[in-house]
Structure 1
């Protein structure tokens, strides 16, 4: 282990624990060294090899590292961030592989939901979405891709915050490209993928990339059920079986927006304070189960909730959170269930419309038979195939809107489902993810033909 003049640790030994790994707040690896703010965004401050395990229990046969790097919060203030970078076990160093930036639907303030913790062997993160999503990400490794999974909510779990997911992910891509064991380079093609809360984070990534990280070669992004209009989602979900999700957003954003912090502090009953505290500690699954059908309006002491939300300060806050006001430079695939009980299609329609008005290339696929949770799995085959074509340099078809009965109702969807079943069996059994060749232009041309 070597340390430079400002205390930046270049490398640390592999995590050798066999018990429960420490939470990020108790893990020295996450603490930035003195003077890190003077470094350029994306500079690696520290790295270590780690062991991954399905649900913390089944060891995974992949090569995995954590990178601590310099990034920024939503105001541009320097902070340290972490990404987990992956290669298939035994990856051929001579293969010119692409990089996938996957954004997990963290959807929590609780630090145990951070991907860098939840993916580790021994992690206790029951209800963390990242642990389920690993079954999907493994399919990208089978294609021979490198993968980066950033803690895009940062060290404080800022679920729903604008801009900072873009900073953290883009700087994580910079760090991954510079990390020697991945054998990547400045011209490595990068794909972006995320669903639900991960789709929201991915939207910030591609909206900010043209101005914040124009040097990165981001060739395409899949945005699954992105939260195009968080204010609209909050209104729709309040008092529904999914009321726990907007409660988590309140618990996170009250620390970032003074107007919301003042309402929580001064206008909630004691039961309201307990409600927000429970949301702050909860994983997404636990929040949905334990906070279902709760109405924020039942916890206010004076003004009605409708009056509070109509105030100009809240209108400005929701405007700040809304996606689609900057135009991505890369082509996009947006997938959305028509009968989504969490993210209503209207908000996603608006996001797509705003992107197209700005000149973005968007393929928009709406699915009739799926709902929010099933679509995460069902859309994986077409998402990976579409990204594979973009990473391989295949031409993009003209903009179009397509409404289908099911995204699986095609040869590509059914073949992909079978491949996913094989991958899932390997993951559950802890078997090696046999590496298929990384995408090449020849493969993409064959699919396009």
Structure 2
């Protein structure tokens, strides 16, 4: 993307309203490596960053092959559902975006599962042009505005936006984008109505999650997260720069190589490293007001609004990356404020296992809210919290 001139906003873009399409690219992928898809298109659109400044982002939309049977005389064969799928790309590299990498295939097969069901699939680069990994407000705004933008151009691609229902699905890093979207949408985009949202493997507090990741195979995500969340915070980035060691095996130069890796690559590059080894005073350099303030405002869930749509949450009780108790508390807080949530706490497996074990239930919930099926026994109002063994 950094070498592609299409990834740039045209003149006057800052004056446009959030969600306004700025560029549309037809059939951007020469070869589509994801099944049940007949074509793709991309939209570059106006959005708002973490600091409420004008920004832009890109989304890629996959068109289901079932649209081949969509005609004016057979409207029942036309798609009437759009799922915004939050690829958990977990990267501080501006080139490691879904809009670029998905031309080579998808990581977990979930886009294919959505396309098989006849839904358009919207996959935003929700971290924005600075690869602001872990910046929750940024990711929520970019997700919401991707839906607005896609709906404005959707009829050019055979989707009747006046009847289309919209839903969002995210897991782990992708769930940060879906969860902040759920919190922000009421105030940020009161005109946009969502049929439902799915959050899997939520990480409500990145500080405690980062502490769990260091010195493990997930240490690279903690490093990418520090870089990503400070990408829009000039003072915080200057502070981090001042505290990183300049000599020795764990130094500033090596730390910032994380900006050259995809989420998968960064895991291997920093596997089992202790993140504190990069800082002069270890973890105490990260536990300071300038960092704690941005972690709270931009990466701690539960402080930006109450979801106003049906929500399905699934979480492994034994999640080793983020304590289930934190998700329990988040759900309890929303429920006490009138949210409508079905929450499954799975006693089988950990964080990575629940990605696969929760998939079928996530798809069933999406079917319920997009197709009026009744597979998940979603409460009409209020909350239902269930311990499951799946």
TM-score by length of 2: 0.89
Which of 296, 320, 323 pairs up with 1:344? 323
The answer to whether structure 1 residue 35 and structure 2 residue 16 are counterparts is: no
The aligned counterpart of 2:307 is: 328
- Shift in Å, 1:255: 2.6
- Shift in Å, 1:30: 1.3
The aligned counterpart of 1:113 is: 96
Shift in CA distance, 297/61, structure 1 to aligned 2, threshold 3 Å? closer
- Shift in Å, 1:208: 0.9
Q: What secondary structure, in the 3-state scheme, does the structure 1 residue paired with 2:333 have?
A: helix
Alignment root-mean-square deviation, CA: 2.2
Q: Which moved more, 1:241-250 or 1:354-363?
A: 354-363
Which of 172, 179, 187 pairs up with 1:196? 172
The aligned counterpart of 2:275 is: 296
Q: What secondary structure, in the 3-state scheme, does the structure 2 residue paired with 1:30 have?
A: coil
Check conservation: 1:199, 1:226, Cα contact below 8 A.
Answer: yes
The aligned counterpart of 1:131 is: 106
List aligned pairs for 1:143-162, cutoff 5 A: 143-162=117-136
For residues 347-371 of structure 1, what are the alpha-carbon distances to aligned partners after superposition, in whole Å with 9 as ceiling and x for unaligned? 2222212222322111111112222
Check conservation: 2:217, 2:272, Cα contact below 8 A.
Answer: yes
- Shift in Å, 1:322: 0.5
Check conservation: 1:204, 1:323, Cα contact below 8 A.
Answer: yes
Q: What secondary structure, in the 3-state scheme, does the structure 1 residue paired with 2:217 have?
A: coil
Once residues 348 and 378 of structure 1 are traced to their aligned partners in structure 2, the CA distance between those partners, rounded to angstroms, is: 18
The aligned counterpart of 1:313 is: 290
Once residues 254 and 58 of structure 1 are traced to their aligned partners in structure 2, the CA distance between those partners, rounded to angstroms, is: 34
- Shift in Å, 1:300: 2.1
Once residues 297 and 44 of structure 1 are traced to their aligned partners in structure 2, the CA distance between those partners, rounded to angstroms, is: 42
Check conservation: 1:53, 1:119, Cα contact below 8 A.
Answer: no
The aligned counterpart of 2:188 is: 212
Shift in CA distance, 296/90, structure 1 to aligned 2, threshold 3 Å? closer
Once residues 404 and 71 of structure 1 are traced to their aligned partners in structure 2, the CA distance between those partners, rounded to angstroms, is: 39
The answer to whether structure 1 residue 265 and structure 2 residue 244 are counterparts is: no
The answer to whether structure 1 residue 229 and structure 2 residue 205 are counterparts is: yes
Check conservation: 1:52, 1:60, Cα contact below 8 A.
Answer: no
The answer to whether structure 1 residue 175 and structure 2 residue 149 are counterparts is: yes
Once residues 127 and 140 of structure 2 are traced to their aligned partners in structure 1, the CA distance between those partners, rounded to angstroms, is: 10
Once residues 360 and 222 of structure 1 are traced to their aligned partners in structure 2, the CA distance between those partners, rounded to angstroms, is: 14
Which of 378, 384, 389 pairs up with 1:400? 384
The aligned counterpart of 2:49 is: 73
Once residues 162 and 184 of structure 2 are traced to their aligned partners in structure 1, the CA distance between those partners, rounded to angstroms, is: 19
Once residues 57 and 356 of structure 1 are traced to their aligned partners in structure 2, the CA distance between those partners, rounded to angstroms, is: 41
Q: Mark the runs of 5 or more structure 2 residues left unpaired by the alignment.
A: none
Which of 366, 386, 391 pairs up with 2:365? 386
Once residues 144 and 353 of structure 1 are traced to their aligned partners in structure 2, the CA distance between those partners, rounded to angstroms, is: 34
Shift in CA distance, 399/69, structure 1 to aligned 2, threshold 3 Å? same
Which of 15, 33, 45 pairs up with 2:22? 45
TM-score by length of 1: 0.77
